[in-house]
Every structure is written in C-alpha cells, then in structure tokens.
C-alpha cells in the first residue's frame, strides 16, 4: 500500500518522515521541491505534480495550508479523476467544516473515500509522533487509517461523521484563543494591582485557573517571547472559520466573536507572524500599559 | 499562641478543624452557633461574640462571606481596640483588593498586622489541607504565618505587598469565568456541528485547549450536573469585584467584562445557586438549543 503525501511543510515534513521511518512507502508532492530532499533521503519518491504522486496510491494524505490550496492541488475534477477508485483521502489540515463536507462530496463523486482528521500538538507533536488526531469518518474508513494514525499520533478520537473532525478542531481553537485572552487580562490585572506576575502565574497553576495556555503561553507572555509556535495569523484564520460556521448555522458565540475581533486588530497592526500569545500586546496597547510595569 | 478563627462556614469549618488536629489552640466565633459543635468536640473554645474570641489571640483568621461582614465582625473601631497589640490578622476570604488595603490601614491604626491570604481549591482543598494560598504580606508577617499556612494548604505563594493576594485571586477568578465561557461555547459549537461532545472534550484534553475547567466543568456540562461546587452568585460577586477594580484603575478587560454581563443575566434569571458551570445554560438559552441535541 502506497501513501501519497501532499504538502510537506512545517507539519507535513515530520509527519511524512515518521511514516517513512515506520516502513510505509511514501510518494511526496510539495510546491517547493527543495523542501523534499530530506524525505527523499529517507526513501520517499518525490513527484513534480500531485497527479503523478497519487496515481498508484491507496491512501492520500493532505497537509496543505488552506481549503483553497487543497482545491487547486487535489479537490478538482481533473486531479480526482486520476486517483485509484476506492482510495482513501485523509485530510489532516485545519479547514472550515463546511469545506471538509464539500470535499467529501466531491471525493464521493469519484468513488473515493474521505476522512477529515485535523490534529493538535503542533510541530513538536508532529516530530515526536504524539499528535492528537480528531477524526470525522465512518467507522470502516477509520479502521483503514488506524495503522497510519498510530504512527502520527499518540491518540486518535473518533468525533463523529465526516466534517466533525474539523468541528472538534474549531472547538479546540475557540478555547485556545479565548483562554489566551483570559490569561492576558489576568496578568495585566495582576501587574496593574502591584502583584508579581510570575508569582501569580505560579499560584494559579495550582487551582481551577490552571491550563496548558496559562502554563505555556503565560510563560511566553512573562518572558515576552513571541517567537512562534502558532502564529497570530493562523489563529485568526481558525477564528474566521469558526465565526463563519457559527454565522451560517445561526449560532451566537459572544466570547469567541470578541476574541476574533481582537486578533483581527492584532494582525491588522502588523503582528501576524508573532506567536498567538502576542494577543497580550494588543491588550497592553488598548490600556497603554504593560505587564512589566 | 492562640488562634481566633472568625467564620466557620463551608470553608472555615474544615480549616479550623485542621488547625485543631495539628495541635493549635483555637478560639472560634461563628454567627450560627450550632455550626461550631463539631469544632468544640475537637477542642475549640467557642465564643458568643468576636471580641471575646480574639481577646487573648496572637493570630486572628477571618473567613467571612464579604467585606461588609468582616467590617461588622472585626474591622470596626470597637472590635479592633479589643485585640492584643501586635497580633496578626490573616484575612483568608475573597474580597475586593481595595477593601483589603482599607482593612490593612485600619488594622495598622490599632498596632495590628495584616495579611490578605485568599485561597483556591474549594471545600475539598479546605478539608484535605491542600489549598493554594495567595499571600499579600510583608516578608516578616508571612514568616509568622508559615506554620499555619503549612497546615491549611499545600502551597503558599508570596504574591507581593498587602492587597496583592486579593489581586491574584481576582486574576484566578477572571480566568476561571472566561474559561467556563469558552468551554460552553466550544461544546455548543461541537453539538451544533454534529460532533459527539464527549469525544470532543476527550480529544481537547490532550492539547493546548486542556484546562482544569475543561476537565471538571466540561464534565459537569456534559452530565448536566449543576449542583455546586462554586456557585454562580459567588462567581458574579468575584467578577463584580474585578470589574470594579478595573474601572477604578482605568483598566479595560473586555473578555472579563463580557463574561460578567453573562453571569449577571444567568443570576438575574434565577440560577444564582447553581454551579458556575451553569453559564452553559445561559448560552443555550441565548441560542435556543442545547448541547444534547
């Protein structure tokens, strides 16, 4: 069984690498050819276009940066008609749930199967094979992907039918963004009140306020280290997807909508490539003060 | 050294009990006398009014329900003038930082020392002696309280000068409230998108969205178990303290202010005595849908 891996960027590269090390045969396509040489050394077959890479593949994994790129690379009539009938497409990038459902329909029209399986855990999880995989799939398709997911992640959760993997990822990103906002406000409040913000973070890690965001992003805020990690622009893209879904489905999510507008302002102000914990900078600017008084 | 313990309710009772078990001499005053009989059996001396309880005490611990009650019970000229000069008042309830500073000034006028030392960990932490204690104090006063804090809590953090213990507690409560709001929105989004909300919670506990709130309050939301725990009305009281502090000090905290208005609506709607995770009910009502579709 050959796997076609489309998109070997920051996440895709280590994921494809782990599949090669686990003994899978991997065909690779990436827009920037020079990013594929490390994979070639591990035994990957490199192809100059997606159609060539997927021609003999029973599994097609996509890890591309947006729904639009995916549509250019794979989800168009010309490319889908090149796939082996019956093959399984596993889309592991984070895209809007409605796009995932649309891609699943397109795949179905070409007798192809489809799983949406976005991940959390970042580049480190990708490297260490410890991603959490949120799968929207039929039970039988998920069974076919099991051996692959076992290599890529430490945990695969079946969220529900196709599209719900992306829903779970949206839920994840909504919580992350709002929690970053909450930690920013709490640390600024602490500083303004004359407290030692390091001591506050340490105290709060012991109680109900504790979270991975307070631990990791809180530490970044205190160190003022906004080297990404996850960027503000990707956080905004995810929030835009969430708010678009909510709007289409008549759902009001007041905190998520508020933090979307905050990230919009952060990104408009030129901080798009900073870590998403840089939302603190937006809040500091709003208040003309900083947490290091 | 005798400790006067003023206020032996849900939190104070197990805390005083732990002090007695650790061998301290404890004088107890509580408004409802019948709530003190278990402590009497452990060897506490029970007094019918605060002045009698604190007359021979070197340490005075208060765990009363509001700043107003504290002012009636202890922080008034008549009662403070009954205290042994040089004694140390340790105020462990959650009150507004500006009230704590005012109480410290009043204490100082009577040659009394003052620490604000609110806690997190709830009734369970109080029972098990595993509270996290956030202390606003001078170094020497904190040193005098060390043996007592070692009995009551598993961790004491020196946040800064008097008043900053309450600031840390405010930071804690702001994060808890906003995170409860974030988890509510994420679970409702998940349900509306056709996902299995239990699977979503499980998946998200593995990544950056993980928090004690997602773990414990998220579980309550899924089980629809809103028996408190911490009540919505206490959460609102804390948010009111935070927003009043922010307003006095010209600080904008948009997410905290938004969640305050949500809790205000929840409490106005009659849910004041439910667990604070019942914020989900407010969001469901706003959207005319529930997470159990």
Q: Are residues A154 and A59 in the same domain?
A: yes
Residue A192 in contact with partner chain B when CB distance is under 8 A: yes
Q: Which of A134, A161, A188 is the last residue of a domain?
A: A161
Residue B163 in contact with partner chain A when CB distance is under 8 A: yes
Nearest to A209 among B172, B200, B287 (CB): B172
In whole angstroms, what is the distance from residue A121 CA to residue A113 CA? 26
Inside any domain, residue A18: yes
Residue B256 in contact with partner chain A when CB distance is under 8 A: yes
- Reported ipTM: 0.95
- Closest alpha carbon within chain A to B216: A208
B154-196 pLDDT, tens digit each: 999 999 999 999 999 999 999 999 999 999 999 999 999 999 9
Residue A216, classified by CB atoms within 10 Å of its CB into exposed (0-12), middle (13-18) or buried (19+), is middle
In whole angstroms, what is the distance from residue B87 CA to residue B56 CA? 10
Residue B200 in contact with partner chain A when CB distance is under 8 A: yes
Which domain CATH number covers B110?
Answer: 3.40.50.720
Inside any domain, residue A193: yes
The range of the structural domain enclosing residue A218 comes to 167-287
Inside any domain, residue A293: no
What pLDDT band is residue A20 in, cutting at 50, 70 and 90?
A: very high
Q: How many residues does chain A have?
A: 293
CB contact under 8 A, A164 and B194: yes
Q: Are residues A199 and A112 in the same domain?
A: no
CB contact under 8 A, A204 and B262: no
- List the beta strands (DSSP E) in chain B: 2-6, 25-29, 45-46, 59-62, 88-91, 113-116, 119-120, 131-136, 153-160
Nearest to B192 among A182, A204, A249 (CB): A249
Q: Are residues A237 and A119 in the same domain?
A: no
pLDDT score, position B293? 66
pTM: 0.94
Residue A157 in contact with partner chain B when CB distance is under 8 A: yes
- Best to test chain A binding among B164, B176, B255, B266 (most A CBs inside 10 Å): B255
Q: Which residues contact A263 (CB under 8 A, 6 or more apart)?
A: A177, A232, A235, A236, A239, A276, A279, A282
Å between A167 CA and nearest CA of chain B: 6
DSSP summary character for residue B84: P
pLDDT score, position A229? 85
The arithmetic mean of pLDDT across residues A89-107, rounded, is 96
Known catalytic residues of B are 169
pLDDT score, position A34? 85
CB contact under 8 A, B193 and A170: yes
What is the percent of chain A with per-residue pLDDT over 70, rounded to a whole number? 100
The arithmetic mean of pLDDT across residues A102-124, rounded, is 95
Inside any domain, residue A208: yes
Q: Are residues A15 and A136 in the same domain?
A: yes
CB contact under 8 A, A193 and B164: yes
Taking CB atoms and an 8 Å cutoff, what residues of chain B touch A213? 208-209, 211
Identify the three-state secondary structure at position A158. Answer: strand
Q: Are residues A91 and A106 in the same domain?
A: yes
Taking CB atoms and an 8 Å cutoff, what residues of chain B touch A207? 120-121, 132, 172, 212
Whether residue B117 is predicted with pLDDT greater than 90 in this model: the reply is yes
Q: Are residues A115 and A18 in the same domain?
A: yes
Tokens of A83: 């796939």
What is the percent of chain B with per-residue pLDDT over 90, rounded to a whole number? 94
Å between A34 CA and nearest CA of chain B: 31
What pLDDT band is residue B131 in, cutting at 50, 70 and 90?
A: very high
Inside any domain, residue B293: no
Q: Indicate the helix (H) or strand (E) that contains B186.
A: helix B164-192
Q: Which residues contact B102 (CB under 8 A, 6 or more apart)?
A: none
What is the percent of chain B with per-residue pLDDT over 70, rounded to a whole number? 100
A263-291 pLDDT, tens digit each: 999 999 999 999 999 999 999 999 999 99
Whether residue B273 is predicted with pLDDT greater than 70 in this model: the reply is yes
Inside any domain, residue A292: no
- List the beta strands (DSSP E) in chain A: 2-6, 25-29, 45-46, 59-62, 88-91, 113-116, 119-120, 131-136, 153-160
Taking CB atoms and an 8 Å cutoff, what residues of chain A touch B256? 182, 185, 189
Q: Are residues B176 and B282 in the same domain?
A: yes
Å between B96 CA and nearest CA of chain A: 11
Q: Are residues B173 and B154 in the same domain?
A: no
Q: Which of A161, A183, A216 is the last residue of a domain?
A: A161
What pLDDT band is residue B243 in, cutting at 50, 70 and 90?
A: very high
Residue A49, classified by CB atoms within 10 Å of its CB into exposed (0-12), middle (13-18) or buried (19+), is exposed
For chain B, what is the domain count? Answer: 2
- Best to test chain A binding among B122, B128, B182 (most A CBs inside 10 Å): B182
Whether residue A293 is predicted with pLDDT greater than 80 in this model: the reply is no
Inside any domain, residue B208: yes
Q: Are residues B7 and B110 in the same domain?
A: yes
Nearest to A170 among B189, B245, B262 (CB): B189
Which residue among A169, A192, A198, A237 is the active-site one? Answer: A169
Contacts with A, B 201-240, CB within 8 Å: 202-204, 206-214, 216, 230
B57-111 pLDDT, tens digit each: 999 999 998 899 999 999 999 999 999 999 999 999 999 999 999 999 999 999 9
Contacts with B, A 114-153, CB within 8 Å: 120-122, 132, 134, 136
Q: Are residues A191 and A271 in the same domain?
A: yes
Which domain CATH number covers B244?
Answer: 1.10.1040.10
A186, B175 Cβ separation under 8 angstroms? yes
A200-228 pLDDT, tens digit each: 999 999 889 999 999 999 999 999 999 99
CB contact under 8 A, B171 and A189: yes
Phi, psi (degrees; rounded to nearest 5) at B178 = -65, -35
CB contact under 8 A, B251 and A213: no
B244-268 pLDDT, tens digit each: 999 999 999 999 999 999 999 999 9
- Best to test chain A binding among B117, B187, B209 (most A CBs inside 10 Å): B209
B197, B218 Cβ separation under 8 angstroms? no
Q: Are residues B65 and B149 in the same domain?
A: yes
DSSP A237-257: HHHHHHHHHHHHTT---HHHH
Q: Which of B161, B192, B216 is the last residue of a domain?
A: B161
Inside any domain, residue B42: yes
A143-159 pLDDT, tens digit each: 999 999 999 999 999 99
Q: Work out the number of other CB atoms within 10 angstroms of the CB of residue B102.
A: 16
Q: Are residues B221 and B143 in the same domain?
A: no
pLDDT score, position A35? 86
């Amino acid at each position: 069984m050959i796997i076609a891996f489309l998109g070997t960027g920051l996440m895709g590269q280590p994921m494809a690498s782990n599949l090669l090390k686990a003994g899978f045969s991997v065909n690779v396509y990436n827009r920037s050819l020079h990013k594929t040489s490390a994979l070639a050394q591990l035994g990957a077959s490199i192809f100059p276009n997606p159609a060539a890479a997927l021609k003999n593949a029973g599994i097609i994994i996509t890890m591309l940066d947006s729904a639009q790129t995916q549509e250019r690379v794979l989800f168009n009539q010309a490319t889908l008609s090149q796939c082996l009938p019956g093959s399984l497409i596993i889309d592991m990038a984070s895209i809007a749930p409605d796009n995932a459902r649309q891609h699943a329909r397109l795949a179905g029209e070409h007798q192809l199967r489809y799983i949406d399986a976005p991940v959390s855990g970042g580049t480190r999880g990708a490297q260490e094979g410890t991603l959490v995989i949120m799968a929207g799939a039929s039970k039988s398709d998920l069974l076919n992907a099991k051996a692959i997911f076992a290599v890529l992640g430490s945990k695969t959760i079946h969220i529900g039918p196709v599209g719900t993997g992306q829903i779970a990822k949206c839920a994840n990103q909504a919580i992350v963004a709002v929690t970053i906002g909450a930690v920013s406000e709490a640390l600024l409040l602490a500083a303004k009140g004359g407290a030692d913000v390091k001591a506050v973070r340490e105290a709060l890690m012991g109680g109900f306020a504790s979270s991975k965001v307070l631990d990791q992003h809180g530490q970044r805020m205190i160190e003022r280290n906004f080297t990404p990690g996850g960027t503000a622009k990707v956080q905004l893209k995810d929030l835009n997807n969430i708010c678009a879904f909510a709007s289409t489905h008549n759902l009001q999510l007041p905190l998520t909508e508020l933090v979307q507008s905050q990230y919009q302002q952060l990104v408009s102000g030129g901080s798009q490539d900073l870590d998403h914990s840089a939302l603190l900078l937006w809040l500091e600017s709003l208040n003309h003060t900083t947490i290091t008084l």
